[in-house]
Amino acid sequence: MTSYGTLDLDDMRYFPCSCKVCARHTPYELRGMSPKERERLLAWHNLGECFTEIKRIKEAINEGRLWELLELRAKSHPSLLQALKHLGEYPDYLEAGAPISKEKGMFYFGSSGLARPQITRYRNRLKRWMPPTQADILLLLPTPSSKPFHRSKEYATLASLLVKKGLEASKIHACFYTAPFGLIPMELDETYPLSQFEATLPLDRETVDDVARQAEDYVKGRGYSIVVLQLSPIIGAKVEAILRRIIRPEKLIISTSDEKEQDAEVKKLTSAINIAFKTLGNNSKSD
């Protein structure tokens, strides 16, 4: 017995374990023993393995990493991963039993982690969250290079350029589209777990689709007049495709990200925001 499944003694050359039995014997030696002695030694190893796994689970709970352990174990056999996927069909049930806050950052390995309680809880909270009332322009930005996002160099460069241009900052509401949470308004990006997570790149297709759906839900439920989307190569394109279906063309302004230089990219984005203000001005005149 091992933490990732059972092995057949007849096929083994090494014991992947350091318990007393495995350290002192080889599989070859055990195969040569009497059945009774072999059974006694294997039982001793198996008992130790069970206790180790129980302690590992307890420590994972203590560290707030039970979900990570669950994913790790689930990937040791296809039927276990299948069970985890079924479990993912009940995100609200999983969320109800999870503690409110944890100290450790969250690791996201792929779409099997989308059902984890922290993500469900954040999304439920976001549904009830109201953006600043004076903000007419929703600015959708890709994941910056550091956390918290609103203190990243990308956002700082953009914010200072907007001030220089004299654009009214209170009318713009910046949200970051990012995996696995979906959409993170800048006001929330320092709260747990949004400031403490690591996601595996490149993202799988299910995760990309999920982020785009979250962006769609957020935009649909809010009353922004204009949406400015700064594209990113993978998620951005998906978000754009979804937003084009639900927003009138004149209300969606896209800023492409094909520039090599960050400064050029920010300038392009600032021009897009400028256009948004002009569109906003025209709209209010015609209202």
**Identity of the residue, 1 or 80, whose beta carbon is nearer to Zn ion in the bound complex:** 1
**Identity of the residue, 12 or 19, whose beta carbon is nearer to Zn ion in the bound complex:** 19
Q: Which of residues 177-196 bind Zn ion (CB under 5 A)?
A: none
For the CA atoms of 130, 134, 136, 140, what is the dihedral angle to 10 degrees?
-50
Least distance to Zn ion, CB of residue 17, Å: 3
Q: Indicate the SS3 state at residue 105.
A: coil
Q: Give the residue from 211, 274, 219 showing the smallest Cα distance to 245.
A: 219
**Identity of the residue, 48 or 131, whose beta carbon is nearer to Zn ion in the bound complex:** 48
**Identity of the residue, 19 or 80, whose beta carbon is nearer to Zn ion in the bound complex:** 19
Q: Which of residues 115-154 bind Zn ion (CB under 5 A)?
A: none
Least distance to Zn ion, CB of residue 29, Å: 13
**Identity of the residue, 45 or 116, whose beta carbon is nearer to Zn ion in the bound complex:** 45
Binding to Zn ion by CB under 5 A, coded x per residue (else -) over 41-70, reads ----x-------------------------
Total residues contacting Zn ion by CB under 5 A comes to 4
Least distance to Zn ion, CB of residue 174, Å: 54
**Identity of the residue, 54 or 61, whose beta carbon is nearer to Zn ion in the bound complex:** 54
E-strand stretches of the chain:
106-108, 137-141, 172-178, 182-185, 197-199, 226-230, 252-255
Binding to Zn ion by CB under 5 A, coded x per residue (else -) over 3-42, reads --------------x-x--x--------------------
Least distance to Zn ion, CB of residue 31, Å: 15
Q: Which of residues 226-265 bind Zn ion (CB under 5 A)?
A: none
253, 228 contact by CB (below 8 A): yes
The alpha carbon of 259 is separated from its chain's Cα centroid by a whole number of angstroms, namely 26
The alpha carbon of 161 is separated from its chain's Cα centroid by a whole number of angstroms, namely 30
Least distance to Zn ion, CB of residue 79, Å: 25
Give one DSSP letter per residue of 148-199, joined into a string: SGGGSHHHHHHHHHHHHTT--GGGEEEEEEETTTEEEEGGGTTSTTTTSEEE
Please state, in angstroms and rounded to a whole number, the distance separating the CA atoms of residues 136 and 129. Answer: 16
280 makes contact with Zn ion (CB under 5 A): no
The arrangement of strands across the sheet holding 172-178 comes to 182-185, 172-178, 137-141, 226-230, 252-255
Least distance to Zn ion, CB of residue 40, Å: 13
- The angle, 0 to 180 degrees and rounded to 10, between the axes of the packed helices 117-128 and 205-220 is 20
**Identity of the residue, 49 or 190, whose beta carbon is nearer to Zn ion in the bound complex:** 49
Least distance to Zn ion, CB of residue 23, Å: 8
Please state, in angstroms and rounded to a whole number, the distance separating the CA atoms of residues 108 and 116. Answer: 9
Residue ranges in contact with Zn ion by CB under 5 A: 17, 19, 22, 45
